[in-house]
Structure 1
Amino acid sequence: MNITIRQLQCFREVMRTGSISEAARTLQRTQPAVSNMIATLEEELGVELFERQRGRLIRKPEAHYFLEEAEHILNRLNKTSRTMKEIAGLEQGRLRIACMPAAANYLMPRLVADFVRDKPKVNVSMMMRASSVIEGWVTSQQYDVGLAETPPPNRALTAQTFELQCVCALRKDDELANKEFLTPQDLSESPLATLEEDHPNYQSTLSAFKTTGAKFTPRFELRNFQPALKLVEEGLCYCICDPMTASGYLDRFDDNAKLTFRRFTPDILLSVSVLTPAHRPASVLASRFTSILAEEIERMNEQFK
C-alpha cells in the first residue's frame, strides 16, 4: 500500500466540503488533480469511498470510517512536525549532562538555568559523578554531554580539552592577598588543603614546591576542592584549586565572599574535557549546550590570568 499524505489531505477536504471543486479551491490544486487523488486513494484501499450521482459525491459508510483514521494520521503528523520544529528551535527535548564535582554545585547549574530559562519544554538530567564514571556514561551513550578530568584517548569519545591554570585560595584579609600572584616560597611551610596523593593536581603541586626549594605542607586531604574553601575561610590553610571551583565560589558569594584568588606560578594545570559520544550525532540541544559549556570554560580560565 502506498497512500500519500496528499491523498489523505485531499480526502479529508472532500469529506469536509462534499465537493471536488470546493476541495480543489481550498487546497489550491486543480479539480482534475483532486479527482485523481481520490480515485488513486480508492484504488489503493480497494474500496469505493464515494458514490458519483449526477456530478455529486455521496459519502459511503466506508468513507466515514476512513475519515476517522485519516484524521488521526494527519493530526499525529502535524503534532510530530510541530515537535520537530520545536526541537530544531531548541524549544523541546531532553538533555542529559554528567559533570565532575568541581562544576556540579555552581558552574553547571548556572549554565543549565540560563540555557533552559526560556525553554519550558526542555527537560534536563544532571548528575555529579567521578570523572571515570562520566567517561563510561558518555562512552556508552547514556549521557549527551560530560565534563570530566581528561581521560585517556578513547575512540568512542569526542573530547574538547582545556588546560586550566590553578589558582590559590586565601582569605581577603591575608597579607598575601596584596600580591598579584603567589609562588611556592610564599606558601612555604603554610598548611595546605590538597586532593588525594595520587591525584595529578597533588603531584604537580608537590613538584612545584620541590623544584623551588619551598616546604610543601599538606594538612587536609580531600576528594574535591569544594570543602577546602570552607577550611580556607576559617583561616586553617591555603588551597591551590582549579578555576571552576574558584569561579563557582565567587558566583555564589559575590561581594560577600570571604576569599579571594590569586594566580599561582609556576603553573599548576588541571586538564579537563567536554566529552560527547563519538559514534552518535549530537542532538541540536546537546550541540548548542556543548558549545556554551566550552565557551564558559574558556572564559573562566581567562578570568584569573
Structure 2
Amino acid sequence: MNIRQLKGFAAVMDSGLISKAADEIGITQPAMSKMIKQIEDELGIRLFERSRGRLFPTPEASYLKNVANSVLNQLNEATRFLQDYGNMRAGDLRVMSIPGPSLFFLPNLINEFVPALSQVNASLMAWNSSSIVNWISNHQSGVGIVEIYDPNPFLRLETLDLRCACALSKSHKLAAKEILTPEDLSQESLALIVSDHPLFEDIQAVFKAAKCPMNIKFQSDLFVPQFAMIEDRGLIGIIDPINIRNYEIYSGRSDNIVFRRFEPRVGLKLTVVSPSLRPLSALENEFRSVLVGELTKIAEPVLR
C-alpha cells in the first residue's frame, strides 16, 4: 500500500462517498473505486459495505483509518519540517569560535541570521583553535572560526587577513592624524595582545623594521579589555576589525574611541573551518557563506 492509496482511502472514510473523495484527491470516480478494490485485494479484507449509494466502513476499515491518520500526519509534519529546514527556518546551527569573535560579533551575526519565531536551534561555543578543529573533524558538522591553520583533509578551510587599525581616545593628540606609523607610536604607551600571539609578532616586526621602540603598558589575551585602558588611560591599541565591531556593538557606537589606519599593514589572520567529508546542512552552509561574507566585508575596515 502506498501513500496515494492511504490518502484516497482516508478521503473515502471522511466523506463516505466515492465521488466526493475522488474530487478531493483529483482522480476520476472509477479510478477511486479501483484504488479501494486494490487495497482490499492486497489486504485480503473487505473495507466497506455498500448500501443505498453510500459506503459504510467495516471494523477493519476503522482500524486502518487510525493507522492512515497517524502515517499521514507524520508525513505532513515531516514535510513541513523539511520545507522549513530547506527555507532555513528549522534545524541546528552549531557555531564554534576562539573567544574574541564569540563576545559580541558572532552573537550579533547569529541574531541577524536566524529568523524570528523560527525553529532553529543555535549554539555558540568559545573554545581554543585545536578543540574546534578536533570537534569539527570528528563530527563533520558545524562552522568554526580559528586562528590560521594548516591544511587538513577533514576540513574545508578559508583564511582571511583582517587589517588592524590603531584605537585611541578621541581626545588623544594623535587622533587628528588619519594614518599612524611606528614612528608616531614610538613615544606612546601601548595596549597590545599578549606576546605569544601571532599578531604581536607581526606588530613587533614592523616596529623593529622601523627601528622604533615599543612602550607596552598593558597586554591581554583578548582585545576587549584593552578598550578600557585606551579610553581611561590614553593608551593606544592595534586592534583587528572583529574587535572594532565588538566595541561598536557593546558601546552602542560610542565615539569615545576612534580608529585610525596603521601603516605598514598588519593583519589578524583567521580561518573559517567546516567539514570537508560530509556536506553541511542548508542552514549551516548558508551561515558559513554569510560569515565569510561579513569577514570579507570588514577585512579592510571603514574607520571613523
Q: Distance in 1 between matches of 2:203 and 2:155?
A: 29
Deviation at residue 119 of structure 1 after TM alignment: 4.2
- Partner-residue secondary structure (3-state), 1:140: helix
1:164 aligns with 162
Unmatched segments (≥5 aa) in structure 1: none
Query: Cα gap change, 1:255/1:8 in structure 2, threshold over 3 Å: closer, same or farther?
Result: closer
2:14 aligns with 16
Deviation at residue 198 of structure 1 after TM alignment: 2.4
Is structure 2 residue 41 aligned with structure 1 residue 46?
no
Q: Distance in 2 between matches of 1:147 and 1:173?
A: 35
2:235 aligns with 237
Deviation at residue 18 of structure 1 after TM alignment: 2.1
1:270 aligns with 268
Aligned residues of 1:172 and 1:259 also touching (Cα < 8 A): yes
- Partner-residue secondary structure (3-state), 2:139: coil
1:26 aligns with 24
Q: Distance in 2 between matches of 1:16 and 1:133?
A: 57
Picking from 88, 98, 109, the partner of 1:100 is 98
- Partner-residue secondary structure (3-state), 1:38: helix
Aligned residues of 1:98 and 1:143 also touching (Cα < 8 A): no
Query: Cα gap change, 1:235/1:59 in structure 2, threshold over 3 Å: closer, same or farther?
Result: same
- Partner-residue secondary structure (3-state), 2:251: helix
Q: Distance in 1 between matches of 2:85 and 2:244?
A: 35
Unmatched segments (≥5 aa) in structure 2: none
1:284 aligns with 282
Instruction: Show CA shifts across 1:263-284 (max 9, x none).
Output: 1111112111222111221222
Instruction: Show CA shifts across 1:37-77 (max 9, x none).
Output: 22222233333222456865332111101100101100111
Query: Larger deviation: 73-82 or 181-190?
Result: 181-190
Compute the RMSD of aligned alpha carbons: 2.0
Instruction: Show CA shifts across 1:87-112 (max 9, x none).
Output: 22222222111122221122111111
Q: Distance in 2 between matches of 1:179 and 1:141?
A: 49
Query: Cα gap change, 1:192/1:186 in structure 2, threshold over 3 Å: closer, same or farther?
Result: same
Q: Distance in 2 between matches of 1:253 and 1:128?
A: 22
Deviation at residue 255 of structure 1 after TM alignment: 5.0
- Partner-residue secondary structure (3-state), 2:277: coil
Query: Cα gap change, 1:249/1:143 in structure 2, threshold over 3 Å: closer, same or farther?
Result: farther
Relative to the length of structure 1, the TM-score reads 0.92
Structure 1 stretches of 4+ with a deviation exceeding 4 A read 52-56
1:154 aligns with 152
- Partner-residue secondary structure (3-state), 2:258: strand
Aligned residues of 1:164 and 1:270 also touching (Cα < 8 A): yes
Aligned residues: 303
Aligned residues of 1:51 and 1:57 also touching (Cα < 8 A): yes
1:60 aligns with 58
Picking from 3, 6, 18, the partner of 1:5 is 3
Deviation at residue 142 of structure 1 after TM alignment: 6.7
Instruction: Show CA shifts across 1:235-274 (max 9, x none).
Output: 2532212111012212332453321111111111211122
Picking from 171, 174, 177, the partner of 2:175 is 177
1:298 aligns with 296
Is structure 2 residue 93 aligned with structure 1 residue 125?
no
Instruction: Show CA shifts across 1:139-197 (max 9, x none).
Output: 22375211222211111111222111111111111111111111111111433223232
Instruction: Show CA shifts across 1:203-236 (max 9, x none).
Output: 1111111111001233323212111111111225
Query: Larger deviation: 74-83 or 50-59?
Result: 50-59
Instruction: Show CA shifts across 1:106-146 (max 9, x none).
Output: 21111111122434322211122222222222222375211
Query: Cα gap change, 1:55/1:251 in structure 2, threshold over 3 Å: closer, same or farther?
Result: closer
Aligned residues of 2:169 and 2:234 also touching (Cα < 8 A): no
Aligned residues of 1:155 and 1:278 also touching (Cα < 8 A): yes
